Every structure is written in structure tokens, then in C-alpha cells.
Chains A and B, each alone.
Chain A
Amino acid sequence: NAGVTQTPKFRILKIGQSMTLQCAQDMNHNYMYWYRQDPGMGLKLIYYSVGAGITDKGEVPNGYNVSRSTTEDFPLRLELAAPSQTSVYFCASTDSTNTEAFFGQGTRLTVV
């Protein structure tokens, strides 16, 4: 089925560990996004990409890195995990006309 595939669904990290959240879409969307959602708060943009090879920072990029080597994949890298990065992470994609937004299932990350 077409859509956004995000893995893993759950992860517990120790402080200082690193990990990569995977995101892939099969709709040939140019625009991809990573958001985090803290309890009781709205979605905050971490990084976004408007096409392969192009990425840019969102509102809350510190502590994260991304790459976009292909149109399909947009992984999010956490370096030196901190408790403040405990959150639910969502990957999303849209086409160039913003017709519809597709979201991954979310990753619940806990840093202890």
C-alpha cells in the first residue's frame, strides 16, 4: 500500500546513545518532514526536505541530523541522545501541490 513507512515504533535509548529513525515513502513525493510531538503540545518541525539532496532546519533541529540521498528515504539521526529528546516522532510527506499530507505511524522514543 502506498504511504509513509516509519520505523521503529518504539525505542528506549540511554543518555548518550545514538540512533536513526527510518522514513520511506513510495508516492514520489518531493516534500518530506520530521516532526516531534511532546505531551500536550503541537507538532514541531525538526527538519524538512524539498527534494533529494536538499534539506533544511525547522523549528527544533538541535541534536538531530538528516539526509536525503533519494526521493524515497528521509532518515533522522539522533546523536548523543538526551532526556529532552523523549517524544513521539512523526515523518510526513506531501506532493509539490500540497494536495494531501501523509504521515508515518510515529516512533515513541524514551531517553533514560
Chain B
Amino acid sequence: KNEVEQSPQNLTAQEGEFITINCSYSVGISALHWLQQHPGGGIVSLFMLSSGKKKHGRLIATINIQEKHSSLHITASHPRDSAVYICAVGGGATNKLIFGTGTLLAVQP
């Protein structure tokens, strides 16, 4: 079983829909990252969470430390949101990042 599980693996939405991507982890962490990777592109950091909730534009990320679960929400989705969204957790003595396998999001106009 992977230490970081994401769902769904693939998601197709219509423009304007509200989108939720989930991440569950089984290890103790000090931080959880949500990352975005466009096709053929690099990886950019969207959020780092250690507790609670963060909002940036149309993106909202929440984390429940007790339940070891985080969600990434996209409101009023747009085709330019189409990308792979990756959850990564960090912590422990080495602070190394452990990645989920990603969620491929396609937003259709």
C-alpha cells in the first residue's frame, strides 16, 4: 500500500464545475504539499499545509491532521486548470517528500 494515496486518478470536468481531489496518507508528517504539473511541463508548488485551510484565487486546500487527509478544491474550473495535481507529504527525521501518483484533470470547455 502506498504511503500517499490520491483519488481519483483521472477526472474529467466541464468548465465551471467545482472539483475536488483527495489525498490520504499513512505516515506522520510535518507538511503536505499540493503541486501542479502541466503536460510536458515542470512542477510548481500550489500550497503547503500543516493545518487548517488555505485559499489562493480559485484554489482551496484543506487538511485534517487527525484523519490524515487533505483535499484540493477548484472552484469555477477552467480548461487552463487541466494538469496533473500531485499530493506530497514531508516530515520525519529526514524531511523527505513522499509523492502520491497524481490526479490527471481535464477540464472541457
Determine the main DSSP class of B at the interface with A: strand
- A42:B96 contact, CB within 8 angstroms: no
Q: Judging by beta carbons under 8 Å apart, are A50 and B94 in contact? A: yes
Residue of A nearest to B32 (CB): A98
Residues from chain B with Cβ under 8 Å of A94 in the complex: 90, 95, 97
A33 at the interface (CB under 8 A from B): yes
Is B83 close to A, CB under 8 A? no
Q: How many residues of A contact B (CB 8 A)?
A: 26
Give the nearest-CB partner of B42 in chain A: A105
B95 and A96 within 8 A (CB): yes
B86:A42 contact, CB within 8 angstroms = yes
Question: Which chain A residues numbered 43 to 70 have a C-beta less than 8 Å away from chain B?
Answer: 43-45, 48, 50, 56, 58
A61 CB → nearest B CB, Å: 13
Question: With A and B bound together, what is the CA distance between A70 and B42 in angstroms?
Answer: 25
- In the complex, chain B residues whose CB is within 8 Å of the CB of A56: 94
Q: Which residues of A contact B100 (CB under 8 A)?
A: 42
* A9 vs B44: C-alpha distance when bound (angstroms): 17
Choose among B35, B48, B96 the residue that contacts A31 (Cβ–Cβ < 8 A).
B96
29 A-B pairs with C-beta separation under 8 A: A31-B95, A31-B96, A35-B99, A42-B99, A42-B100, A42-B101, A45-B96, A45-B97, A45-B99, A48-B94, A50-B94, A56-B94, A58-B96, A90-B42, A92-B97, A94-B90, A94-B95, A96-B95, A97-B30, A98-B31, A99-B48, A101-B35, A101-B45, A101-B48, A101-B97, A103-B42, A103-B43, A106-B42, A106-B43
Q: Which residues of A contact B (CB under 8 A)?
A: 31, 33, 35, 41-45, 48, 50, 56, 58, 90, 92, 94, 96-106
